[in-house]
Amino acid sequence: MTAIADPNQLGIRAAIDDALRSYCRGIDRLHVPSLEAAFHPGAILEGYGSADATTIEEFIPRVLDSLRTKFVATQHRMSNTSIEIDGATALVETYVLAYHVVVHDAGRTLITFNGRYVDTFEGRDGDWRIARRQLRIDWSDISPMGDPMQGAYVPSGRDGAPDPVFD
């Protein structure tokens, strides 16, 4: 990997960054079009809590149903993205810190996941999206949460609920 990005690759790098962000928006807002925009049709995902790989078409309904029923909120944060472009493919490593909030009779629980997305991006007719994703875990934590912050705050929209991003 070179220290300075090739100016001819800046558009590719921007498209890769857009796809990564689209995934996070889709997964946190339960928004199918955002998820679909991050992946090429038929993309393969591995490491999402199962020994079996799955296609993006199988993954989206399964993960959204799970997120919808188990968690009242999630937030995925990315950092330390490394992009190695080689022709029409790119190896992309991105650190991910994900928060998942569970509400139950005893209160609230925060599940924190820290790991990496190891993605193979492909440029197909100039359209750069994920063709294969491998999720790797570095650590996780499950902790009780205290009382929520007080105030007249407007909750984020999720799963079609009103939100300024989609309104």
Per-residue confidence band for 3, with pLDDT thresholds at 50, 70 and 90: low
CA atoms 137, 12, 74, 95: torsion sign: positive
Above pLDDT 90, what percent of the chain? Answer: 81
Largest Cα separation within the chain, whole Å, is 55
| Tens digit of each residue's pLDDT (9 = 90 or more) over 112-137 | 999 999 999 999 999 999 999 999 99
Given strand 54-55, what is the order of strands in its sheet?
54-55, 39-46, 127-145, 107-124, 89-104, 73-86
**pTM for this structure?**
0.92
Q: Which CATH architecture has domain 8-145?
A: Roll (3.10)
Contact, 144 vs 118, CB < 8 A?
Answer: no
Enumerate the domain spans of the chain. 8-145
**Mean of all residue pLDDT scores within the chain:** 94
* pLDDT value of position 4: 66
**CA distances, 121 to each of 36, 58, 78 (Å):** 14, 19, 17
